[in-house]
Structure 1
Amino acid sequence: MIMTLLQVALGGAIGASVRYLTNVAVMRGIGPGLPYGTLIVNVAGSFLMGALVVLLAQKSGTRFAPFLMTGVLGGFTTFSAFSLDAFTLWERGQVALAGAYVAGSVVFSIIALVFGVMTMRGILA
């Protein structure tokens, strides 16, 4: 268990570093406005999650999942895990549940962020 945890931690550090560098590069290249860096990271992470889930399963590489999927991609973007969860529900034929999961995740996450901002502003005011 400790080795798996270390794999996740190392992968997370790598993924978070790549996310940061991507955001810096995009900000320098495009400038402020729409958060293109985050958009790029989310889309790329989702693509990589889809590719890895198939590759690791077909090549008997699931032992690398904690490092690559949970660690690297989890540190790079948790959106990739969200995308995989939504797709898995849809692929299982649970289309309504997948839609509810997507809508609920987006709506409740934004609501939670707003409440977090308001709470901290209230505390620090």
Structure 2
Amino acid sequence: MTILLAALGAAIGAPLRYLADRFVQRRHDSAFPWGTHAANATACLLLGLAGGFTLPEWAADLVATGVLGALSTYSTFGYETFALLRERRRFLAFANAAASLAAGLGALLIGLAVAASVTGAA
């Protein structure tokens, strides 16, 4: 059952990631991968929220593993960072790596903090 729930969630999260990426990237005339950055940071924020609540196992499989796992994408982040290096855009490659790490962890912590304030957990 876990595999089916994760697959169902991924079938939702992957198209969401693609649409979010295209929506954001279309609005920026830049080599920086803003679309992937935004999708990954959003997934981290939502994962922090989901992690801050006590979800039934099936819901965690569907949402955290499936939807959010597919919404975020380490492989695209890695590829885009490598492509920037290959194009000799070292500053943008470093900025992408540093900003993605900072935004992802920061968004995750914000999500956890929001969930804690809603649930009253310390």
TM superposition score normalised by structure 2: 0.56
> Post-superposition shift, 1:78?
4.7
Equivalent residues, number: 80
Could you tell me how far apart the structure 2 residues matched to 1:28 and 1:74 are? 23
User: Secondary structure of the equivalent of 1:49?
Assistant: helix
More relative contact order in 1 or in 2 (CA 8 Å, sep 6+)? 2
Poorly superposed stretches of 4+, deviation over 6 Å: none
Larger Rg: 1
CA contact (8 A) 2:2 2:58 kept: no
Task: Determine what percentage of the aligned residue pairs are the same residue.
Answer: 35
Q: Does 1:67 align with 2:62?
A: yes
Q: 1:21 aligns with which of 15, 19, 22?
A: 19
Gapped runs of 5+ residues in structure 2?
87-122
TM superposition score normalised by structure 1: 0.55
* Aligned positions of 1:17-56 closer than 5 A: 17-55=15-53
Output the amino acid matched with 1:21: L
Output the amino acid matched with 1:61: P
CA RMSD across the alignment: 2.6
Could you tell me how far apart the structure 1 residues matched to 2:3 and 2:21 are? 27
Q: 1:6 aligns with which of 4, 7, 15?
A: 4
Counterpart position of 1:76: 71
Instruction: Encode CA deviations 1:42-68: one digit per residue, 9 max, x unaligned.
Output: 11111111110112x1xx533300000
Structure number having the greater helix percentage: 1
Could you tell me how far apart the structure 2 residues matched to 1:27 and 1:21 are? 10
